Amino acid sequence: METKNIVQNLEIPVVIGVSGGVDSMVLLYLAMQQLPRNAIIVAHFDHGLRGADSDGDRIFVEKFCHENSLIFEAETKNIAEMARNEKKSIEAAARKYRYQFFAKIYQKYDANALCTAHHCDDRIEGAMFNLIRGAKFGGLIALKNQDFWKTEEQQIHIFRPLLSFSKSEILAFAREKNIPFREDATNDDTEFQRNFLRHEILPKFEQINPGYRRAITNFLEYISEHKSVQDEEISWWLEAQNSRFKEILQKKFPENPREFSIFSLKDFLNQSEFFQKNIIAYIFEIANYGTIGLSDAIISEILRFLKEGKNSFGMRKIKNLELERRGNWIFWK
């Protein structure tokens, strides 16, 4: 593994998500080699899914931080119960509350970067998993080397320094450097959908093409470039609409005209249906800080709402995306 300067150039302080597993412990090891100890905040989230093993992970990470003069923060949630109450999958609930915790720690220490230990295999698994569930471009390229995540309070700069390395490379590096880590038995439990994909499906890809990781990664990079160009085009169109009709926006919302954006329904309908759908996906992603929950059904629902009639009025909220149709004008935030 070529790890020189892998985190050295990050603005400090840096929050690092550390579970105690091999990936995050390797990332923490590299951070300790390249950053001042007092600039590293270790954030450990206990999902409450593994009983005594979860407690053992927290104790292990806390002890490691104490021995190495690192700041340690932890939080525990009963993810299984929350998933049931919110009718979410375990994986979706875990991600939601884990990142809420990271955001809280990021704000507490006025951090400049959040590092997670996602690797190449994670990226491929995530893309394949989302593809099977009908994701759009945004869902396929959710894991990027760096990204921005906006919450209501702040913008978080996310880095994934290990994304170019495979799981096997990371494991070999840990053994070479004698980096301690904890084994998570649930990673082998194929009752979890991601684990089933990892252990039962992806090995079949390797039988077809031993270099499938590189092939899929190259394809994901191509999609990412394509989406960047597409997003720039949509952003330009929306900004032009906002600028052109800003007086109408100010009249509608005199106290806070910047809270909403505006576009002309007539101009929208003059675009191709492909472009219309991508505008909807784009504003959904902005309003919800990502594409989780976006589907063909939701895009079709929004299209129907917009096309119900030029002279009609209505409001619709889908997750965090708010839409108001007033004749020819569409207001959104």
Tell me the pTM.
Answer: 0.80
Using the predicted structure, report yes or no on whether residue 257 has a pLDDT greater than 60: no
Using the predicted structure, report yes or no on whether residue 160 has a pLDDT greater than 80: yes
- For residues 128-150, average pLDDT: 80
Which of 181, 208, 235 terminates a domain? The answer is 208
* 107-136 pLDDT tens trace: 999 999 999 999 999 999 888 888 887 777
Using the predicted structure, report yes or no on whether residue 189 has a pLDDT greater than 70: no
For residue 214, being part of any structural domain is answered with no
Using the predicted structure, report yes or no on whether residue 190 has a pLDDT greater than 70: no
Q: Side by side, which strands form the sheet with 261-264? A: 261-264, 329-332, 321-326, 313-318
Q: What are phi and psi of 314, to 5 degrees?
A: 180, 165
Whether 152 and 197 share a structural domain:
yes
Closest CA to 72 of 59, 60, 62: 62
For residue 194, being part of any structural domain is answered with yes
Total structural domains within the chain? 2
Please give the pLDDT value at position 60.
Answer: 96
Using the predicted structure, report yes or no on whether residue 29 has a pLDDT greater than 70: yes
User: 325: which strand partners?
Assistant: 314, 330
Q: Parallel, antiparallel, or unpaired: how do β-strands 113-115 and 155-159 relate? A: parallel
Please give the pLDDT value at position 138.
Answer: 74
For residue 95, being part of any structural domain is answered with yes
* 198-255 pLDDT tens trace: 888 989 999 999 999 999 999 998 988 888 899 999 999 999 998 888 888 777 766 6
Residue 136 is given by DSSP the state -
Domain hosting 276: range is 220-332
Lowest mean pLDDT of 36-45, 164-173, 182-191, 311-320, name the range: 182-191
CATH number, domain of 289, equals 3.30.465.60
The mean pLDDT of the chain is 87
N-to-C CA span, the chain: 44
Contacts of 98 (CB under 8 A, 6+ apart): 17, 45, 47
CATH number, domain of 101, equals 3.40.50.620
Structure tokens given for 187:
């990673």
State what percent of residues in the chain have pLDDT above 70: 94
